[in-house]
Structure 1
Amino acid sequence: MECCRRPRSPRSATTKTYAPPLYVPSDLVAPAKTPTKRSLATDPDPNTSSDDSSTHSAPPPAHHAHAKGPAPASAHPAVLRLMTYNFFLRPPLIADYKGDSKEERLEEFIHRVLPRYDILALQETFSGYSSRVARLEKAAVRQGYLGHVRGPQGTVLHGHLLDAGLLVLSRWPIIESSNWTYSRGVTVDRLAAKGVSYTHHVHPDCENVHLHLFNTHLQASYSTAPDPHQNPSVACRDDQVRELAEFIHHHVSKHVLATVPADAVATAASKDVAMPSRPSSPRLHDVPPPASSDSNDAASATRDKLHHLILVCGDLNVNSLQSNQTEYQRLLDMLKGPQQQFAVADLLAQHGSVDYTQIPWRWLSQKRRDLSRDIFEQEGGRLDYILSLSPAEKAISAAGGPWNVHNVVIDKCEAEHPSFLQLSDHMGVAATLAWPGSSAVMEAAQGKDEAMHSAE
Structure 2
Amino acid sequence: MTKDDLNAPPTIRVFSLNCWGLKFLAKYRHERLSEIGNQIAAISPPPDIVGLQECWTQQDYLAIREKTEHILPHGKFYHSGIFGGGLAILSRWPIEESSMWRYPLNGRPTAFFRGDWFVGKGVACARVRFGRRRKDVAEIFCTHLHAPYEAEPNDSYICHRTAQAWEIAKLMRGAAERGHLVIGLGDFNMIPLSLAHRIIETHTPCRDVWRLLHPDSSIGAAKDPVERKRERPMPTAEYSIKENGATCDSALNTWRWNEAHRKRLEKGEDVVIEPVVEDPRAKRLDYIFFSSGEHSPTALSKSESRPSAEVDTWALQDVKVGMMMRHPELKCSLSDHFSVEATLVRSAYPADYSRPSSSSLDEAGFKSSLLPVAVYDEILGMILKYTAREYRQRRLRLAHFGTELALAIACLIGVWWVPHNFVAFILMLVSSLGLAAGVIDGLIGGLFVGSELRALREFDWEIRNARAKAVAEKSTGDTKAGVVTNDKQNGV
Same-fold call, TM cutoff 0.5: yes
Offset of residue 375 of structure 1: 6.9
Q: Distance in 2 between matches of 1:192 and 1:376?
A: 32
Greater helix content: 2
Contact 1:173 1:204 in 2 (8 A): no
Task: Write the deviation string for residues 349-407 of structure 1: whole angstroms up to 9, x where unpaired.
Answer: 222532321127252955654457777423x32100011235655999x9945413221
Amino acid at match of 1:184: N
Give the count of matched residue pairs.
289
Q: Secondary structure at the match of 1:177?
A: strand
Contact 1:365 1:419 in 2 (8 A): no
Contact 2:74 2:92 in 1 (8 A): yes
Match of 1:291 in 2: none
Q: Which structure 1 residue ranges, 5 or more long, are not aligned?
A: 1-20, 29-73, 155-159, 257-307, 321-327, 439-456
TM-score of the aligned structures, taking structure 2 as reference length: 0.52
Match of 2:438 in 1: none
Match of 2:412 in 1: none
Task: Write the deviation string for residues 290-316 of structure 1: whole angstroms up to 9, x where unpaired.
Answer: xxxxxxxxxxxxxxxxxx321210000
Match of 1:293 in 2: none
The 3 A distance-change label for structure 1 pair 243 and 208 is: closer
Match of 1:104 in 2: 31
Offset of residue 170 of structure 1: 0.5
Match of 1:248 in 2: 172
Offset of residue 347 of structure 1: 0.6
Pairs within 5 Å for 1:277-288: none
Q: Secondary structure at the match of 1:110?
A: helix
Q: Distance in 1 between matches of 2:278 and 2:323?
A: 16
Q: Secondary structure at the match of 1:148?
A: strand
Contact 2:14 2:343 in 1 (8 A): yes
Match of 2:181 in 1: 309
Match of 1:181 in 2: 102
Match of 1:436 in 2: 347
Q: Secondary structure at the match of 2:342?
A: strand
Amino acid at match of 2:248: Q
CA RMSD of aligned residues (A): 3.5
Q: Distance in 1 between matches of 2:264 and 2:278?
A: 12
Match of 1:345 in 2: 207
Offset of residue 213 of structure 1: 1.2
Q: Distance in 2 between matches of 1:399 and 1:238?
A: 39
Q: Secondary structure at the match of 1:423?
A: coil
Query: Quick one: percent identity of the two aligned structures?
Result: 25
Q: Find the partner of 2:320 among 393, 400, 409.
A: 409
TM-score of the aligned structures, taking structure 1 as reference length: 0.56
Q: Do structure 1's residue 354 and structure 2's residue 244 form an aligned pair?
A: yes
The 3 A distance-change label for structure 1 pair 377 and 412 is: farther
Pairs within 5 Å for 1:263-342: 308-320=180-192, 328-336=193-201, 340=203, 342=204
Q: Distance in 2 between matches of 1:350 and 1:395?
A: 9
Q: Do structure 1's residue 166 and structure 2's residue 116 form an aligned pair?
A: no
In terms of Rg, which structure is larger?
2
Q: Do structure 1's residue 382 and structure 2's residue 284 form an aligned pair?
A: yes
Contact 2:73 2:92 in 1 (8 A): yes
Offset of residue 245 of structure 1: 1.9
Amino acid at match of 1:344: C
Contact 1:85 1:429 in 2 (8 A): yes
Task: Write the deviation string for residues 105-153 of structure 1: whole angstroms up to 9, x where unpaired.
Answer: 12322222234222110100002xx622223223332x23231122342
Q: Do structure 1's residue 79 and structure 2's residue 29 form an aligned pair?
A: no
| Structure with bigger RCO (C-alpha 8 Å, 6+ apart) | 1
Q: Do structure 1's residue 121 and structure 2's residue 51 form an aligned pair?
A: yes
